[in-house]
Each structure stands twice: as C-alpha cells, then as structure tokens.
Structure 1
Amino acid sequence: MTFVSDIINSLKKLFAKISTWVKNNPKKSAITFILVVFYYFSLPQTLFNDPYATVIESSDGELLAAKIARDGQWRFPAKDSVPDKFKKCLVYYEDEHFYQHFGFNPVAMFKAFQQNRRAGKVVRGGSTISQQVIRMSRKSKRTYFEKILEIILSTRLEFRHSKSEIIDLYAAHAPFGGNVVGLEMASWRYFGIHSHQLSWAESATLAVLPNAPSLIYPGKNQEKLREKRNALLLKLYQNNLMDKLTYELSIQEPLPQKPYNVPQIAPHLLQQIAKTNEGKRIRTTIDVSLQNRINQLSEYYYNQYKQNEVHNLAILVIDVKTRNIVGYVGNSPTNSDHDKDVDIITSPRSTGSILKPLLFADMLDNGELLPNTLIADIPTQISGYSPQNFNQTFDGAVPAQRALSRSLNIPAVLMLQQHGVANFYETLQKFKLKNINQYPDHYGLSLILGGAESNLWDLCRTYANLSATVNHYTRSRGKYRSGEFCELNYNADMPRDFGTESQQKNSLGAGSIYLTYEAMKEVNRPEGDEAWKFYDSSLEIAWKTGTSFGNRDAWAIGTNSRYVVGVWVGNASGEGRAALTGVDSAAPILFDIFSTLPKSRWFTKPMKDMETAEVCQQSGHLAKEDCPKVSQLIPKSKKKTQLCPYHKTIHLDSSQQFRVNSNCELVEKMVSKTWFVLPPVMEWYYKSGHADYQPLPPFRTDCQDSNQPVMDFIYPKAHSKVYLTKDFDSKIQPVIIKVAHTNRETRLFWYVDSEYKGTTRTFHDLPIEAKTGTHRITVIDESGNEISRKMEIVRE
C-alpha cells in the first residue's frame, strides 16, 4: 500500500507542476498542445490507397489465378505474415538496428550524410525501414524537407504499429522491378513459388531489390545483383543465422532469369470473383489437382471438337455435402475469335431435355404417376404443336422411367400436359432457375423440350441440392433441413448453414428424388460403356443429357451421393453443328471426370419416405384385383394414383377364340379372363415392338359390343387445324389421314363429307386432296364400326 501511495503522490505532484507551468506559460502551452495534436493526426489512418490485384487460391493455398490491379501494377494483397527468412534478410540489409530505434537512426543518417558528401552524390540513404514505408506511402521525391517529414512520421508510425506490422507494410508495397510490387508477387514473378517457400538465397535476392530494382532485368547487371545477394548472405552467416553448408549452397544458387507468368488455372472463376471481390485475396474451394485434371480434359476434348467447328465447352464440379465448387472450367482454351473470355457456366442456354428428370420427380411427388406408369408415345398434336421423338419413331406406350432414360419427347410433353405447365413452372421457381423468368404461357409445352433457357450454375446447384436432400434424409433418419436449397459456394472461408431440421420437405420428397435417380441411372451410356452394369467397379451415376433445337447446345449433368458434374458443349456464338449432341459430345467428358473423382457409394434408400405397393406388372399403375402384380417401392402416401385402366375382364366362348356376351351366350358357358388392352392408337404402335402383346379376340359373329372401341384416328387430332404444304415444285401436297384398328387385316372404308374416297387394309393411311375449309372425315370398318372427325384445312 505504501508503494501505491507513493506513486499516486508522485503523479499528483507531476500534474500540479504541469498545471502550474500551463498557467504561467499559456502561449507555450497552446503551441505545445497544437503540436501534439498535429503530431497525433499527422499520419493518415490508411497509409496505402493503391489498388490491389485480385488473387484466388485453391483450398490448400495454391495460386490459381490473378488479375492485375487497376493501375497496371502487379500488387498482391498483403498476407497475414512475412516469412521469417525474408524478415531477417531485409533487416540485415536495410536496417540492422530496426528493433532498437524508434523510427529513425541518427547515427546511420549522419554516416550516410558524410558518405554522400564525399562522393558528391547520393550513394547511401540512411533511411530506416519505417522511413521507407513512409516514403512509399507518400510517393514523394527525396528532398531534405521530405526527409524531415519522414523522420516525424516514422516515429508516429512506430507508435501506431508493431515492428512486425511495419515489416508487413514494407513487404506488401516495396517495388521489385518493372510493375512488380510487393513480396508475394515478386516471389511468383521471379521464382514461381509462394514467399514462404523461398530459400535463403531467393529471400536475399528479393531483399536487395527494392534498394535497386533495376538489377532484376534478365541479362543485365547480373554480377552486381549477385554481389549484393552474396554480401547479404555472408553477413547472415557471420551473424550465425545460417550454418556454413547452407551458406555455401546458397551462394551457388542461380539468379532468376526469365520471369514466370502468373498461373491462370481458373481464369473464368477469377472473372466471377472479381465482380464482387476486386482487389482481394480469396481462398476458394477449388481442389487444385482436380482443377488441373479437368483443364487437361477440357484441352483434349476442345482439340477433338474443334475439328467439327465446335469451339466452346464448360465444366462444373460440385461437392454435394458442402455445395462447394471444387472444379470450374468456364470455357475451352480457344481464342478470342471464338469468345474464349465468355464464361459459359453462367450464360443462359437452351435447356434441351435436361429438365425432364425434374418433371418426372415432381409428378412422382404429387402422386400423378409411379415409376413404371405407362405413358402414351403416339403421334401427337396439341393446339398446333407437334412434338417429335429424336429417332422419329413411336412406341405406343412406354413406362415413365424408360421414357426418361431414353429421353423420349412425346411422353415428356404428354406428362407436362397432365401435370400442368404452371405447376411445373412453380417448381422450377423453387429451384431458382433465374433464366426461366417469363410467364408459363410464354413457354407452353415446349418448356420441357428446350423452350426455356438456363445455365450450368443453376442446373448443377439444383441437382446438388436434390442429392443433398436424399443424403441428409437418410443420415438423419427422416428429416429435412430448412436451408438445404442454398447457393453454390466458392469461398473456402465462408461458413455454411443449412438451417434447422424438421419433417417438412423443401420442395420434393427424398423418396421421389431417389426414384428419379434410379431411373436416371438407366440412361444409355456413351459408346464403350454400354455394359457398365456387368462390372463391379462400374460407376453408379444418375445422369441426363440434353440437346437443344438445331444442335446448338449439348448438355450432360450427373450425380452420385458425393459429387455433381455438369458439362456443356457448343459454340458461344449459338451456331449449331449436326454432330453436336448431349450423349456424343458432353457425356464422354462427364464420365471421364467421374472416373477422375474419388469413387462414391450410391445413394442409400430413403425408406422412411417410401413404401411397398402392389403394382400392375404390365401397366405400372396401382394394381387392381385382375392385374398380374409385382411389389414396387413408391413414394410414401402416393397410393392415390390411378388404378390400372388397361386390364379388363372379358368373356370368351368355350373355344376361347371369340368374345361373347350375355346377348349371344349362356353365362354358365362363358370363360372369363383378364386381358391387357390398350386404346387403339397406342395398341397400333405398341404391338409392333412387343411380340407378346395379344390383341383382343374378335367378337363371335352373332355377338357385338358397341362399348368397346376398335379403332381411332391417329391423325388428325380432334379440333385441330391441318396446314397444306408445298413440295419443291410449289405443288400442294395431299393431307395424310391415319387410323389405327385393333384388327390389322380388316378393311376400312373412307369418306370425306359423305363422298367415298377409298379402301385400305393393313396400313390405314389415306392421302386426301381437299380444299381449304372445314371437312368431316368418316371411316367405317367391315363390321360396321364407325368413327368420324371434323378437321379444318388451311394454307400456310
């Protein structure tokens, strides 16, 4: 207590003396106060306002790419610390008493003054590291007045910053020759490595450069640079900072020769990051070894495809768990004539068939179909819109998941018609496909066949979010996360938050997503990988291709439980090429990338969101009592889908060759059987590809059933307009009317407006020459069955 009391008393006496002096010397006190305030505020809060280069690094700190600063200088943002070797080299070369002085060294300044006076020119500066930081920040010329300011400001600098921070400022802003500024850039420019990887000799070379940056130019002043470097190395050795062997090896190291180029491993990602993070150093989520591999693949396939005048491609690889981007190729290594600087990953392009899995999953989730529900695949015209399958054929009826795996267009359009364009549009909005931004009526049914545009970023994000939904649902035993549908991330220092757990799904249920992926697994693989199922080492991937109208865009997107890979191939100009398709152009790249990635397991079944149901073996609908049944996993609570409409109980005579009814046969003599019956038009095409399909037996001659349709129009559709076309000689072509009949060999009699036009057998197609206007087509078979359709003929 006595010691504390003594201090307090001493302070009281000091303050009393100061108070007395201030009262007795008011002018001097005011001047002193002004000088103190001026001194305190003399140093700007921000010493350096120079623009920095934008720098991106891989997840483990490797330099990926850099964009030069706006003032044309290669000035990297400062790192957290300066390597110890460079610190020691800098201090022993520039300012040996750096850690002892308080901003300036009067002894060194006096010696420099004498030496310069004897030489008649400036041969030695005498400035401390702190003074040099001030001079670099002020960008001033060397005058005696500036020297006085440097001394004042350097002492103020020492008040504000620690010695280590002052060295950091020096290292970040010192000139290293040409437009190279700062230690980090100098390390890359002259040695091609990070500053923390510099050897003693390399550190010493860079330590002497700010004092004489002109020495670095290759082929000039090499001996002067070597003398300065070796002299510094000797001083370090003499001060026991390195052993003799290290010293001897260091002086033998060669000097830098040809400058290294800054790496450009991910130039298009750099472009994206620079839009919002210009002048910053960003540690990205990119895996540098994977990035180098996909760069090699990009170059390989570019060299292949440019032979067919296809010049651009893009690749995106996503880590499903984190939604981090681990690989990013925004464009092929083409030239400026073919838009090499365009980042295709974020560019809107026609989607082709790439949205079909999302429609399939949406309908599964809404209970509108089951995985193998039969979908019509017949000639179709809807309000003048006539979709066509890629191979220009028809299956009559095809299971939904097979229609997806084969990317059939007509079933997809009919599914969208059933589901509703507006409903599907709303689902796409939940996925935040920002380029699909017109009203649903703007797209119509073409939405599912490439009538809309999207980009690789949004599509890959959607599939990554869906994959993560399944993963978390199975891992958490039946829970979803509120923030599962989130944005992709490229910043390794950005924390990820996927929200809170609940029973509420975000958009699609895990069961519907899983069953969609199971269907996507069956997509036909590229040439050479068709037998993938027979190999234990094969990659299990849910994937889908897409080809836009005119062969302008080729897509392939695939996913397993760990990664999503997206590929686009085409021309940035929008120019199409006949051989450009998703399966032939984009898919090979996709599978090569998946072969490069660590092998991952297939998705675990989300059993809590699925249940077993009895499904009709032939139709894929929920089974009725009269259906051959199989057990199948379906999305939970989706037993509201339609019961099988195609299995019917029919009655046969005792020979089981003819159908009968109670009007012509005794009930006790009838044989009842369940029969798989498709509508006439579906049957017409279906039986050509299914030899086991058995058409209904005909009615016995003394029986008839007016309720059972036996024929129907294939073309034209009801309430449709038929457009007359011309051939190359400008001659108007006839209208081809098509009808399907359950009995292929029966004869059909054709009438137009009650005027007989002809008879057909087996192939029921009849060309009709008719004038524009409304006409009624009537067709009658040998049994007297009749169908009629009104059509309107117009000129194009």
Structure 2
Amino acid sequence: MEGQGVRARASQGRRRWWALLAAEVVLIGAMLLDLAFPLPLPSAHGGGAVVLARDGTPLRAFADRKGVWRYPVQADAVSPLYLQALVGYEDRWFWRHPGVNPVALARAAGQALRNGRVVSGGSTLSMQVARIIDPHRRTPAGKLRQLFRALQLELHVGKRGILQLYLDRAPFGGAIEGVEAASWAYLGKPASRLSHAEAALLAVLPQAPSRLRPDRHPDAAQAARDKVLVRMAGLGIWSAADAHDARIEPVVARSLQAPRHAALLAQRLRSGARGAARIASTIDLDLQRVVEDRVAAYFSSLPDRTSAALLVVDNATMEARAYVGSLDLDDNARLGHVDMVRAWRSPGSTLKPFLYGMALDDGLIHSQSLLVDAPQSFGDYRPGNFDTGFNGPVSAADALRLSLNIPAVDLLDRLGPSRFDARLAHAGIRLKWPEGARPNLSMILGGVGARLEDLVGAYAALSRGGVAGRVRYTPGDPRVERRVMSEGAAWIVRDILERTPRPGSPTDLFDTGGRSRLAWKTGTSYGYRDSWALGTTPAYTIGVWVGRPDGTPMPGQYGALTALPLLLEIGGSLPRGRVAGIPRRPASVAPVDICWPLGTPVHLQPAALCHRRMAAWSLDGTVPPTLPERQARAWNAGREDFDIDAVTGQRLSADCQRPHSRRPAAMARWPVLAAPWLTPREREASSLPPLAPDCADDGRARTMALHIEGVRDGATLASGSHAPVRVDVRALGTDDSVRWLVDGRLVAETRGATATSLTFAEPGEHVLTALADGGAWDRLGFSVLAR
C-alpha cells in the first residue's frame, strides 16, 4: 500500500510538472505572438485636432490625415447615461471578463446555427475596439485575430484604456468618429449633457453607422434607440418611467457640418500646439458668433477685395474673447487665408494716444496745453493734416481728439523718436521699420509697421491704469504686462478720447457718461491703404482694421468712415452682464484752471495776461507752461516784462533821453505761428506798446512783416467767361518758405517772392493767408462772383 501511495504521489507530481510546463509553453507562445504581432494602437498625434471655445464648445475641427473628424474626450467628461447605455446594451460583463466572453460567443454561435443567420453578436467592447484598431474580414481567421487583439488590449491598456479608445474611435457615420464628435455633429451639444434618449441613440449608432444615421434615416435610428431603451428598462438600469419618457422624444439631428468659428485663430493655435488633439482657447463663442455675423453684414457694401480684422480682449485677463482674422477664409479674391490680426500694417495715427500720455508723464504738457496747428517744417519733413486744413491754436486734448498731425509731430520732435520707439517696445508694442530706416518723425503718422494685436494690447492700458498687456489666446498663455504710461496719464488720455464726439452727433449732445464709456481713436495710413479704429471700455478693448491684404489703396475709405462704425457697432454688442468699475480719477490727477497763451494756472498770473481761460487736468501737481517755440525768432511766446511811461503808456527802453515816470508792465505773447488765427483783440493784447520817441531801440519790436500782392483785401473777383477765377499772388517781405492757405486749407507753397496761381471754381467768400516759416504772415478776404 505504501508503494502504491508513493507511485500515486509521483504520478501526481509529474502531472503538475507537465501542467506547469504546458502553462509556461502557452505563456511563452503568447509572449512570442505578442512580440511578433504587436498591438497596433492608434497614435495620439494622428493629425486631427479640435480647437475649443472657453466653454468647451468646438470652434473649429481639423480632420486627421484620413479625413476623419474626431474630438477626443475623457470618460469622466461623458454623460454617465451614455456610459450606462453603452455597457448595459453592448457588454454587461465588460468590467469582469478578460476581453472575451465565452458564454456570449457560444450563445451567438448557437443562435446562428438554429436560425441560419446571425441573430445577435457575441462581441465584447474589447473585441469591438480590436476590430476598430485592426480591421479584418468576417472569416473564422479574422474572428480569431479579433479575439487575439482583444486579449492584447486587456493586457496592454486595461479596461479604462479600452473604454477610452471606444469613446474616441467608434464610428458614428460619415467621417465622424468618437462620441464627442458625434454628439456635437448630430445634437449640437457636448457628450456630457445627453438625455436618456440621446444617450441611447449614440450607444446604438456604431452598430450600423450608415444605416442608422439620424440625419438621413431618423425612423431607423429611432427604432434602434427604442430597442436600447427597452433593454435598459428591462435590466433595471434605468427606470421604466425614464425609458417611457425617452421614447416619446423624437429623433431630430442636424445636418453634418464641421464648426468653423474664429477659423484663423484656430489654425494659429493648432500650428503652435505641437500635435495636441484638444486645444482650449479663451474665445467667448456667443460673442464670436455675434461679431462674425456683424462683420459679414457690414462688409457686404464695401469695395471688392476688402477684408477686415477684429479683436476683442477682456481687460481684466487680457484674454481674447472674439477674433476675426479675415472677412472670409474661403474668399481668395480677398486673400481670406491671410490673418490680418497679426499682419504688419501702417498704423496711421493710432500711436498718438501713447505720445500724449508720455508727454504728460514727462511734464511737457497738461491736458489743455496750447499747441499750434499751422504749417511748419521739421527739417526736411513737412507734414500736413488729413483734411489739408489747419486750426491754429488748439489744446492738447483737442489736438488728440481731432488727430491733428502738426501738433503730434511737434510733440514727438520734443520727446524724441528713438526714445518714443524704445518706450513702446518696452511696453510690448513692437514696430517694424523699413530696411535701413531708424526711428523718425514720420512714425507718429504711420510711417512704420504695427500689428493689430499689439495695438489692442497697448490700448487696453488706457483702462488698466497705464499697464499694457500681451493678448492671451489660451488659458495657459503667460501674462505679460508692462507699463506704457503712468496711471494718471492713462486716465487723462482716456478721458480725452472718451469725450470725442461720434460722427453725426452734435458735440453738445454727446453723452460722455453713456452706455459703454467707449474711448476711441481712428487712424488712416498713407494712400488709404489701412483704416483703423481702436477703442476701450472699462471691461473690454476692441481693435478693427479694414483694408486690402495686398496693400492696394481704397480711395475715399478712411478710419472714421470705414472702421469706426464697425467698432461702435461691436461696442454696443459687448456682454451687458459684465460688471467693471469706471476707472476712478487717480490722486495724481487734479483739476486746474489755466490761461492761454501762457498755459499756467490762473492764480499765478495777472488777469490782463489771461486771454483764454480753460479747465485742465494736471498730473502730479505739475502745470507746465506753453512749450517754447522751436525756432529762435525776434518775437517768441511767453511773458514779456517791460517798462512803460505812467502817463503816455509808451514803452520805455533802458536808454531814454528825457526823464519818465516808469511803471512796470507785462504782456503775454502767443506763439508766432498762431497769429493768423487770433482775434483782433487777442492780437492787440499780444502786441507791445509803441516805443517812446526819445528812447533807443530795445530790439523787442516785432519786425517781421509780410504783404500779399495780387489781390486786395475786400475785393470782388469775377472771370470774363465761364472759366474759374484765377489769381496770381506772391508774398513780399520774406525769403523764407511761404505756405498759402485758402479758408484754412493748404493749397500751395512758395519761397520768397515767387508767384503762385490760385484757382477758384466755386462762388462765395474766401480768406487767403500767407504764412512764412519765420512767423511773418498776412491775411485778407475777397469774394468770387457766380457767372
């Protein structure tokens, strides 16, 4: 007996040994098969991508290399109802089986043998995913291959990985793969917000994507969906009441159309995303849609080949909320593929607010400083105004509001172009100069390149206490902020621009404390190539560019006419629920009453020297006087002190032959170039009294004199035929350059006594002014009769 027990134990040991050996052989064989036939897992960087709005809504989808639209989504971001329907209907034992369910396979095989056809499938979710990633023919060999791949999936990626592959790769008809793409394509909503009926529909759709497509075969799709609902209620996963209510819901699907909002921004973000499949942006989809609709409607009447760019930024975060890079991405005539938000274009006059802000910070001006808008030269540079007219003496505030060129060039000349360029660059406003060019005075009128996104980031400083920022397009973009001007200067510049009357609105009716508190500025580049409008509210900053991407001119189209109406329209469309406080006046800014022509506070000068009184803003307690004139002249602006005879009122010099009762006197002189625009009373108040006959010349008298020859003051002119009236005029009394103005508009330029011909086609009264570089001037009026 004992021998038999030994033999039995030996036999049992041998069987265990053979069993272990067999298991090792099977394991080694499986490992070799796994190595020989590696699992063909899809690449995470297949070329497809989706760019999302800030709420997760797709802005634009990019198909992969095979033309498939796919929006990757994590399982925890999918509705639990969908996951319940998917597992409950397709594979109830998914979380328990090893990838293959033998019971389900045997049942399916038995049903097929009894009925002569396939009645129900025995595939698990693992097997379905195996077929998705490694398609095969429906043959016994193909089935074995599918089983092998399913086991590999279980081994390599596990249950959650298999589920993730199904969520991203399951076919849903057409070029749609994955539940998130299908949910957006058919239902217009994310897979996280599915109802019972919608979850059941998307769970069954991959069984026969072409036959059950809800946009083409709604009846078949509804019948298949209802089958899922009955199964879910029968299994007790969903209540009978929920299933009943879901069956009442009709199948209504949208036609398949990939979203395409903020198309050029989406393309830009995708290019910089390094293969990421889901790219989050900062765009507000509701605002983006409104902006795109308004831009498309607005440009229907503009010249052909006109395009536009528009950017809306949230001042609090510097995140872009709306982005239009071109008018129409598919319009080749408009070069719609060119993103004008980041294109280099001439900025026109849009840099002027920063110049005035820096001039305030440097103590050059206050808000009502006296500037002169009159023809003058800056070396070889002779700028003019957009409308060719001149305004004479203007305040800094009005010069900025009216976008006058001469005062801006004068300020830049004093500030220094290189310094201005460096300070802008430090604040993030990069400028592009022509090859070989250096910062010069033309930059303030657009003689340089700038980008819309940089300008918008800079204009936001007016509502952010002087701090500019780089525009952010994704939540992960770093916050880059630099100060471009002080808080006080930003507040003053914003206050000036906020009070600019809108076109068509009478100045006295304009409500500066109105609905949006929009501070705005326009610009037009040389040759009508670029029209700009930039504006900022306490909450948002908006930038608009209009032009032709190829740089050809658009005569008659300029910032205030072409870009500003769109800016104002978009400003009225900004979200109303956003609360943003009105920028409070900083402690560094204080009101002060000043007088022209000296520009200093009222209380610091005698009343007789105050020709015009104005309410101004001072910065840091500084009230700078009127800027000194750029050229040394015999007659210079400012206060002039002298002695007069107490009896006769005549001026006394230091050397007089007779004794006089001397009394000190003072006079405030205007800048010489402002003289033609002064009232007679102001000219008289700015003139020295005559010198007493017994006193030696003190060199203070104004010696500059100019006389217009060719027409007399008060004349009436008429031609002898129907031809326009022609007048030959010349300026006597100077060798300088002379600029000729008719009704305040520059019409000609001569030197010395050289004659020029002026033509008048329209009847009426006219004013002719001759203004020499040295300050000498003459003015007269005449009439032209109608024939």
**TM-score bucket of the superposed structures, by smaller chain:** 0.7 to 0.9
State the AA in 1 paired with 2:529. R
Classify the secondary structure of the residue corresponding to 2:88: helix
Q: What CA distance in whole angstroms lies between the structure 1 residues aligned with 2:182 and 2:250? A: 16
Q: 1:300 to 1:380 in 2, by over 3 A?
A: same
Q: What CA distance in whole angstroms lies between the structure 1 residues aligned with 2:492 and 2:180? A: 51
Aligned counterparts, 1:283-362, within 5 A? 283-303=280-300, 305-306=301-302, 308-309=303-304, 311-333=306-328, 335-362=331-358
Q: 1:425 to 1:674 in 2, by over 3 A?
A: same
Aligned to 1:711: 704
Q: What CA distance in whole angstroms lies between the structure 1 residues aligned with 2:44 and 2:421? A: 49
- In the TM superposition, residue 256 of structure 1 has moved relative to its aligned partner by 4.5
Aligned to 1:479: none
Cα RMSD (Å): 4.2
Aligned to 2:361: 365
State the AA in 2 paired with 1:490. Y
Q: What CA distance in whole angstroms lies between the structure 1 residues aligned with 2:690 and 2:293? A: 68
Aligned counterparts, 1:254-653, within 5 A? 254-256=250-252, 259-277=255-273, 279-303=276-300, 305-306=301-302, 308-309=303-304, 311-333=306-328, 335-438=331-434, 441-442=437-438, 444-465=440-461, 467-470=463-466, 485-492=468-475, 494=476, 506-528=483-505, 530-531=507-508, 533-534=510-511, 537-597=514-574, 598=576, 600-607=580-587, 609-610=588-589, 616-620=595-599, 628=610, 633-636=617-620, 645-653=637-645
CA deviation digits over 1:41-79, x for unaligned, max 9? 976595444625432333223333323333211111224
State the AA in 1 paired with 2:342. T
Point out the more displaced range, 523-532 or 263-272.
523-532
- In the TM superposition, residue 145 of structure 1 has moved relative to its aligned partner by 4.2
Contact 1:339 1:572 in 2 (8 A): yes
Point out the more displaced range, 660-669 or 48-57.
660-669
- In the TM superposition, residue 198 of structure 1 has moved relative to its aligned partner by 2.8
Aligned counterparts, 1:629-778, within 5 A? 633-636=617-620, 645-654=637-646, 658-664=650-656, 669-687=661-679, 694-700=685-691, 702=693, 704-711=697-704, 738=731, 768-769=753-754
Point out the more displaced range, 87-96 or 668-677.
668-677
Q: 1:61 to 1:364 in 2, by over 3 A?
A: same
Contact 1:736 1:766 in 2 (8 A): no
Q: What CA distance in whole angstroms lies between the structure 1 residues aligned with 2:213 and 2:684? A: 83
- In the TM superposition, residue 350 of structure 1 has moved relative to its aligned partner by 1.2
- In the TM superposition, residue 120 of structure 1 has moved relative to its aligned partner by 6.1
- In the TM superposition, residue 170 of structure 1 has moved relative to its aligned partner by 0.5
Identity %: 28
State the AA in 1 paired with 2:458. T
Classify the secondary structure of the residue corresponding to 2:207: coil
Aligned counterparts, 1:53-64, within 5 A? 53-64=48-59
State the AA in 1 paired with 2:291. I
State the AA in 2 paired with 1:56. V
**TM-score (ref. length: structure 1):** 0.77
Q: What CA distance in whole angstroms lies between the structure 1 residues aligned with 2:727 and 2:418? A: 37
Classify the secondary structure of the residue corresponding to 1:185: helix
Contact 2:82 2:203 in 1 (8 A): yes
Classify the secondary structure of the residue corresponding to 1:452: coil
**TM-score (ref. length: structure 2):** 0.78
* Structure 2 residue corresponding to 1:139, chosen from 135, 140, 146: 135
Q: Where in structure 2 are there 5+ consecutive unaligned residues?
A: 1-12, 629-636, 709-725, 737-747, 756-773, 777-787
Q: How many residues align?
A: 697
Q: What CA distance in whole angstroms lies between the structure 2 residues aligned with 1:176 and 1:642? A: 75
Q: 1:514 to 1:21 in 2, by over 3 A?
A: farther
Q: Where in structure 1 are there 5+ consecutive unaligned residues?
A: 1-16, 471-483, 500-504, 716-732, 739-747, 753-762, 771-786, 790-796
Point out the more displaced range, 320-329 or 137-146.
137-146
Q: 1:524 to 1:737 in 2, by over 3 A?
A: farther
- In the TM superposition, residue 549 of structure 1 has moved relative to its aligned partner by 1.3
Q: What CA distance in whole angstroms lies between the structure 1 residues aligned with 2:270 and 2:367? A: 45
Q: What CA distance in whole angstroms lies between the structure 2 residues aligned with 1:42 and 1:694? A: 102
Contact 2:499 2:512 in 1 (8 A): no
Q: 1:248 to 1:613 in 2, by over 3 A?
A: closer
CA deviation digits over 1:587-631, x for unaligned, max 9? 222222223333744322232x45788855534357865665988
- In the TM superposition, residue 764 of structure 1 has moved relative to its aligned partner by 13
- In the TM superposition, residue 172 of structure 1 has moved relative to its aligned partner by 1.0
CA deviation digits over 1:442-476, x for unaligned, max 9? 45221111111212111001122453244xxxxxx
Contact 1:91 1:98 in 2 (8 A): yes
CA deviation digits over 1:133-188, x for unaligned, max 9? 12212234444445334434434433555645432320210111121111111122
- In the TM superposition, residue 580 of structure 1 has moved relative to its aligned partner by 1.4
Q: What CA distance in whole angstroms lies between the structure 2 residues aligned with 1:227 and 1:408? A: 72
State the AA in 1 paired with 2:183. S
Contact 1:191 1:260 in 2 (8 A): no
Q: What CA distance in whole angstroms lies between the structure 2 residues aligned with 1:684 and 1:553? A: 34
Classify the secondary structure of the residue corresponding to 2:400: helix
Q: 1:443 to 1:451 in 2, by over 3 A?
A: farther
Aligned counterparts, 1:177-196, within 5 A? 177-196=173-192
